[in-house]
Structure 1
Amino acid sequence: MTDERDKGLEERRKRLGAKLAKVRKEEREEDARDDRAEESRKGYAVAMKLSSEFISAIIVGALLGYLLDRFAGTSPWGMIVLLLLGFCAGVLNVLRSAGKVAAVHPMDRKGGENINKGDGA
C-alpha cells in the first residue's frame, strides 16, 4: 500500500512540476511582452515630447510676430521673421532633446573669461 501511495505521490509531483514549468514559461513570455510594450510607450512619450516642443516654438514665434505686426504696424514682416525664428528654435529644441546637439556649456555663457586664468597667458 505504501508503494502505491509513493507512486501516486511521485506521479502527482511530476504533473505539478510540468504545470509549474508551463506557468513559469508563460510568465516569462508575458514579462517579455510587457517589456516590449513599455519600450513602445517610452518611444511614444518621447515622440509626443519632441513634437510638442517643436509645435509650441512655432506657435510662440507666430504669436509674437502677430503681436509685433499689430502694435508696431510692420505687417507682414514681423510675422514672417518671428515665424521663421520660431521654426529654427523648434528645430534646435528638438535636436537638443534628441541628443544630437549639445547644450551650451556654462563657461561659454560667461563669455569664456576664466579659460586662460591659470596658465599666465
Structure 2
Amino acid sequence: MTEDRDDSLEERRKRLGAEIASVRKEAEIEEAGEIRAEESRKGYAMAVKLSSEFISAIIVGGLLGYLLDWLAGTSPWGLIVLLLLGFCAGVLNVLRASGKVTTPHPIDRDVHK
C-alpha cells in the first residue's frame, strides 16, 4: 500500500513538474512579447517627439515670418527667410534630440571666447 502511495506521489510530482515547466515557458514567452511591445512603444514615442519638434520649428518660423511681413510690409521675403530658418532649426532640433549632434559643454563654450 505504501508502495502504491509512493508511486502515485511520484506520478503527481512528475505531472506537477511538467505543468510548472509549461507555465514557466508560457511566462517567458509572454515576458519576451512585453519587452518587444515596450521597445516598439519607445520607438513610436521617439518618432512622435522628433516629428513634433521638426514641425513646430517650421510653424514657428513661418508664423514669425508672416508677422514680420505684416508689420514691416516686406512680403514675402520675411516669410521665406524665416521659414527656411525654421526648417534649419527643426533639422538641428531633430539631430540634437536623436543624439547625432550634441550641445557643446559650457567649458568648451568659454574656451572659444
* TM-score of the aligned structures, taking structure 2 as reference length: 0.95
RMSD between aligned alpha carbons? 1.2
Distance 1:44 1:5 in 2: 58
Match of 1:102?
102
Q: Which has the higher helix share?
A: 2
Q: Which residues in structure 2 correspond to 1:33-112 (within 5 Å)?
A: 33-110=33-110, 112=112
Q: Runs in 1 of length 4+ with deviation above 2 angstroms?
A: 107-113
Report the identity percentage: 73
SS of the equivalent of 1:79 reads helix
Unaligned runs of 5+ residues in structure 1 are 114-121
Residue correspondences, number: 113
Q: Which residues in structure 2 correspond to 1:21-40 (within 5 Å)?
A: 21-40=21-40
**1:76–1:101 Cα change, 3 Å:** same
Unaligned runs of 5+ residues in structure 2 are none
TM-superposed deviation, 1:112: 3.2
